[in-house]
Each structure stands twice: as C-alpha cells, then as structure tokens.
Chain A
C-alpha cells in the first residue's frame, strides 16, 4: 500500500474496493456474454439486478443512515419512471437521438422524484418513527391511485393532460396516448442495459459514500443515533433529514427511470407496497447502513428465484421468515447477549451499524 492509499479515509478505501469489485464483475460478465456463454434469460436480468441494487442503496440511505423507515420508495420509483417515460415519448420528434433523450429523461426523473421526496418530507419528517413509515406508505398509495387515473395524450398541437376521464377521444391530428390510465405507459424504447445500469450504480454508490463521509453525513448519523443530543448541539434536524430523504428519493427515481426504459410497459400498480417491501428485505438482509451488503443481497435475492424456479411459490414466504429471523437475531437483547457471550461477530454487519 503506498502513501496515497494510506491517506484515504477508511470509507473511501472501502468504496474503492467495492467499485473495483463491481468493475471486475462487469468485465467478467461482459466477456462471458460476448463469447456467447450467457443464457438469454441471464442476459436479460443483468440490467434488472442493477436497478434493484440502485434502489436498495437508496433505501438503505434512508433506513440505515437516516434511521427512518420508508415504505413508499416504490412511489418515488414510479415518479421517476412515469416522468422519464413521458419525456421520452413526448420529445420523440424534438430530440431524435435516443440516448440524449434518455439522458435528459434520467435527470428529469431523478429531480422529480427528489422533489416528491422534498414535498412529502416537509410534513412527514417532523414526525418520528412509525408515523413516518405509515405516511410514506400512504404516499405510495396516493401516487399509485393518482397515476391510475392519469391520462396524457399527444397530438400535433401539443400535450393534453386529463384526470379521471379518458381524453383519448378529444385528441386532434397525430394523436398518441402516452399515459393511458391504469394501462400505464406502453412502448417506451428499451434503453436500459447492463452497462448503463452498472455506470449508474457506481455513480450512486460514490455519491452516497461521499455523502455519508461528509459533514452532512455525520450530522445525519448523529440525528439517527440520538435526536435530542443532536438537536442540543445545534444540528438542524429537519434540514438534514430532508437532505437525506431527498437524495434517497432521487436515487429511487433513478431506479424508476431505468425500470421504465427496461420494460416496454409500466403500470402504476407495479410500484405497489410489495415492491417497497421487497426492497426493504434487500436492505435489511444486506445489513442496515451497509451499502455493499445491499447490493449483494439485492443481486442474490433477485437471482435466486430465477435460478430456483421451483421455489417461486415459497419465495415471499421464505423472505418473510428471513426478515423476522434476522431482526430477532440482530436486535433482540437476548440474542445480542448470546452473541457477545459466544463472541460471534456478524460478518454482514457494517461498521456504521445503528445497533452499536
């Protein structure tokens, strides 16, 4: 290890290791895929793995680092997905290059999801704990309900928005429905691939790691560990909570953008409570506050049911038992005592874990 490495903070070294690992995985998989040794279904799922890894990292920022349980991240994901897909459709003529359009859509989707996080965060983050969870859940349901009755059509005179009533009949020359209520958005160009997913995953990881390591990040962790103490040393609670929540929502938005450009059809009901729970399972299983763990568990838990088709009926059952078992093992005072007695260190626990 040279001098320069030593000067880096421990979390930066960790980040470097993770990024190098991801790049290595990327290269290996690309080579395998190029030589034609990867099955078609595996090739397809690679981008999906990146999407789930991204949203898991985003939720982990909220649950693991901010210490607030959000059950509405699927809602932020749907904001990103719908905004970006609408943009991609609406600008099809104005911006011919698909990748330029996707890039702008990505930024737009992320910003809108972050804005949604901001708007929902203002009232909610003043509340504590369980209230926050239930309100984020409510928010996810509201978004789903609104998007299900939202219609956007396009004709030669521009975009037409309609609420509750289907406005497809009132469109003029060159009509095309973009958002078709409960049927969602159809025919979005397929842009998301493994490369884009991987690049964004690494970008998200870098941003999150630097955030956590910054002054802001330390303030956020102080709030998580002891809100009253943090407040008494002059940390503005709401401001820092909002920052973390917004970034977390924005990351969910990125995952949503990728998702809508991965599947050609997205409907609002795809982003339901189950999706939020699934991501929560990734985060809890990977270790609260451990971003690398989130990525690993998102990949494993998405791959497993693909590999073990026979188990698909039991998949959610196993997840729920894992969730309960892990929580009891990790957090129950008796279990902690038992672990200390037998000097068992949990390999998946991040050093920044909230339980310490």
Chain B
C-alpha cells in the first residue's frame, strides 16, 4: 500500500511539474529561449494567492483567478521589457537576461514579502479520499492536482488545434519568418505564449504550495528548474512531451526520495536529465531538428 501512496504522490508532484513544464516548453518552442524566470513567476503567483486569502479574505477560487490575472500580466510585461528587445540577439544574451529577471523577481519578493517562509494554507480544503477500507488515504489536493493537469492539457491541446491563435503559435514555432509572410503577427503570438505560460504558472504555484505548505522567495526556483528538466525529458516544444516528462520526473523524484534517500532525490532527478540528454538529446517526444547551413 505504501508503494501506491508514494506513486500517487509522485503522480501529483509530476502533474505540477507538467503544468510548469508547459510554460517552458511553449516558450522554448516559439521564442526559442529558456525563460529562466518562469519558476519565479510561480512564486509570485503563490504570494498573490497567499495574501488574497489571508489578508483580504477572498474566496480561494477568486484569489486563484486574481493570481492567474496578475501572473499573465507579469509574463507579458517581462516579455515586453526584457526579452522583446533581444529577439534578434545571441541566445547567450537572452539567457543571461532571463537569469537576471529571475533574480530580480526573487529579490523583489525578498524585499516586499520578507525572507521568512510563510505557512501556506490548504486553500482549497478538499476532503481526502479513503480507499481500500481506509488503508490508503489520498489527500483531496492530490486528486485535484491530477485532474487539473489533465484538464489543462486537454484544453491547451484543443486550443492549439482548433483556434486560429493556436495555429498561429504552431506556425511561429515552425518558422518565424514564413509565418510572418503568411500574415501571422509574430510579436503578439509570442506575447500570447508568454501570457498563457505565466497564467498556468499561477495555477501550478497554488497547487505546489497547497501540497507543500511552504512559501518563500525561493520556492519557485528549484521546482522551476526541475520542470524545465521535465520539458527537456519529454522533448522540448512538445505538449504531450511536457505531460509525460513531468509525470515521469515526479514519480522518479518521489520514489527515489522514498526508497533511496530524500537528500539524494534532487541529485537523482538531475542525473536523469544528464542521462536523457546523453542518450536522446531530443527527449521522448521531440523531433530531431536538422540544422540548415
């Protein structure tokens, strides 16, 4: 029974990684950049929910909606100020700028919210599910997380498949210049991608903090990097890849911390990344890109 409960916890953690990985994989697929600040947008979103519930006494679902709105806006602003001017610059410059943005967000949070860890309440307060005559208890938030992840995934995939904006995203990710020639507004498509990714980050943040109950300015950094690992694992740019990669990574992390050593869980997760890149650099679902000379 303990194995199953670890597995369920792993799937739940993996679902959070998957939602975060979506933000990375979409932005990477379309803007060809690693948005290092994504993890910190998650942290900001969690603070918004924390204060909305605790200081303003808002309904949890209303505060999540507020948080999604704030993060969406934040994503667009970051893109406009920091990334857009560098669209044609070397990828090294963009990456260092993204690291700078990540650091800026962390330090702003440090300044405004303090360095102490806040006890994040289980804002949703869902009842636990009892299975097998009470021998297996699954927390409500765990089930909610998994369901959330599946809904988001399905919604996003149909958005890309059936809407004009989604098709524009696909076109831009395939070939920016050709898409522009076909009348796709590349800049607004990239902004939309950042907006969606950051909005999802807010949801991921709430789910993450509701499960682990700790919130500090560095909450988003490490999960963010792991989520990127998940995106690479699944094949960067691929939405089903982010889903599968996130789930696998969450399960690996949870099982290795349960059966090997909790201190080594991070090292094992990152070890997986290195092995994946060594064996199959394009990830599980990634397409091999042939470089044009």
**A positions within 8 Å CB-CB of B:** 63, 67, 69, 71, 120, 123-124, 126-127, 129-131, 133-135, 137-139, 141-142, 145-146, 148-149, 164, 228, 232, 273, 277, 280, 284, 313-314, 316-317, 319-321, 323-324, 327-328, 330-335, 354-355
Contacts and interface: CB of A to CB of B under 8 A. Distances in A.
A149 B92 CA distance: 34
A148 B263 contact: yes
Contacts of A328: 82, 85-86, 97
B291 interface: yes
Given A164-B261, A317-B111, A324 B274 contact: no
Contacts of B281: 126-127, 131
Interface residues of B, number: 44
A332 B86 contact: yes
Interface stretch (B54-62, B190-198, B264-272): B264-272
B273 interface: yes
Given A131-B232, A149-B264, A324 B104 contact: yes
B95 A135 contact: no
Q: Which of A126, A129, A149, A164 counts the most chain B CB atoms within 10 A?
A: A129
A69 B95 contact: yes
A230 to B, nearest CB: 12
A123 B278 contact: yes
Nearest to B291: A228
Scoring A142, A316, A333 by chain B CB atoms within 10 A of each residue's CB, the highest score goes to: A142
A321 B104 contact: yes
B96 interface: yes
A31 B8 CA distance: 67
Interface string B257-292: 000010110110011011001100100000000010
B229 A134 contact: yes
Given A127-B281, A142-B271, A331 B93 contact: yes
Contact of A133 (B34, B97, B101, B263): B34
25 contacts: A63-B92, A69-B95, A124-B274, A126-B281, A127-B277, A134-B225, A135-B273, A135-B277, A138-B274, A141-B270, A142-B266, A142-B267, A228-B291, A314-B111, A316-B107, A316-B110, A320-B103, A320-B107, A323-B96, A324-B97, A324-B101, A328-B97, A330-B93, A332-B89, A354-B90
Contacts of B90: 331, 354-355
Contact of A327 (B86, B228, B266, B267): B86
A131 B97 CA distance: 16
B95 A317 contact: no
B136 interface: no
B293 interface: yes
A334 B85 contact: yes
A331 B89 contact: yes
Among B99, B261, B266, the one with the most A-chain Cβ atoms within 10 Å of its Cβ is B99
A141 B274 contact: no
A317 B107 contact: yes
A9 B148 CA distance: 64
Contacts of B135: none
Contacts, number: 132
Contacts of B103: 277, 316, 319-320, 323
Given A277-B103, A323-B97, A324-B82, A69 B92 contact: yes
Given A131-B277, A137-B225, A321-B104, A327 B271 contact: no
A142 B82 contact: no
B33 interface: yes
A354 B92 CA distance: 10
A223 B110 CA distance: 40
A141 B266 contact: yes
Interface in B83-122: 85-86, 88-93, 95-97, 99-101, 103-104, 106-108, 110-111
A280 B88 CA distance: 22
A312 to B, nearest CB: 12
A280 B93 CA distance: 12
A165 to B, nearest CB: 9
A116 B256 CA distance: 25
A123 B275 CA distance: 9
Nearest to B34: A130
Interface-centre pick from B97, B100, B221, B263 (highest chain A CB count, 10 A): B100
A320 B108 CA distance: 10
B100 A320 contact: yes
Contact of A134 (B34, B100, B264, B267): B34
Contacts of A139: 270, 274
Nearest to B263: A149
Contacts of B274: 120, 123-124, 135, 138-139, 142
Interface in B1-39: 28, 33-34
Contact of A332 (B85, B271, B291): B85
A46 B2 CA distance: 55
CB-CB nearest 3 A-B residue pairs: A145-B267, A323-B100, A138-B270
Contacts of A149: 261, 263-264
Given A145-B267, A317-B111, A335-B85, A324 B100 contact: yes
A284 B111 CA distance: 24
B288 to A, nearest CB: 13
Contacts of B291: 228
A126 B108 CA distance: 37
Nearest to A330: B93
Contacts of B267: 141-142, 145-146
A164 B33 CA distance: 37
A277 B88 CA distance: 24
Interface string B199-242: 00000000000000000000001000100110010000000000
